[in-house]
Amino acid sequence: MDIQVIELDVTSDSSVEKALNKISNHSNGQIDVLINNAGISYVGVNETLSAGQTDQLFQINVIGVDRMIKAVLPFMHKQKNGLIINLSSVQSRFHTPVIGAYSATKAAVDALSVSYYYELRSTGIDVAIIQPGSYPTTDIVTKSLKADHPEAEALYGSDMAKVKAALIYTFTPKETNPDPQEVTDVIQKIVDADPGERALWTVVGGGRLAAAVENMNDITTKSMDTLLGFMGL
């Protein structure tokens, strides 16, 4: 297998354009699959983050996803086919304190992806959302942002300290974490599926939260179908 690594910054229009030019030159102008997996995180009460840091989370986790989608769509429209896979999180469905900003970005990824799914489904371009649980390779604790205002945490009660400790434990890599190969296998399954038949939502490694996430996904799909039905679609 011929794998080539190309530098790309999802927060930069020029970097994305440069990378896509290189990729299209190597692929005869064809781009079949986009997998949006770039992301950063933060565990801590929202007040400890500066507005600029919250913006950084959204720039990478959400705006970066949208930037990449818009960059590949001209290629896929020309081909009249393609696949966009966005990595969200089970946390997108749980607006948990002490990980609120991160959860907000992943909820935004879900909403953005669903809207693209319905917009593109008549064009031959598929959109799929993968909602992973906690994997050791993610390690969002040690790779987390360093808060600009950590002193604000002292203004909160012991309840938030307990929630933070529980989240840090959950997201700290350990031998009991699921194998990240599961996510790769799901991606491969989606890529191999027939165009137009790919599931919008796939939960992987969600553990005890998986059933609740799948239920909320089902409600979202049914609600969208009802809304579009009212519009005659």
pLDDT digits (tens, 9 = 90+) for 158-173: 999 999 998 888 877 7
- Tokens 């953005």, residue? 112
Compute the C-alpha angle 144/150/155, nearest 5°: 130
H-helix segments, the chain: 13-26, 51-58, 64-79, 100-120, 158-171, 181-192, 210-230
CATH of domain 30-230: 3.40.50.720
The catalytic residue positions are: 102
Percent of the chain with pLDDT over 90: 82
Q: Which residues of the chain have pLDDT under 70?
A: 1, 136-140
pLDDT at 2: 77
Sheet holding 33-36, edge to edge: 33-36, 82-87, 125-132, 201-204
Note the pLDDT of residue 135: 76
Q: What is the pLDDT of residues 112-145, one digit of tens each?
A: 999 999 999 999 999 999 999 887 666 667 778 8
Q: Which residues of 192-219 are buried (b: 16+ CB within 10 A; e: fewer)?
A: eeeeeebebbbbbbbeebeeebbebbee
Q: Cβ(164)–Cβ(43) under 8 Å?
A: yes
CB 40 within 8 A of CB 9: no
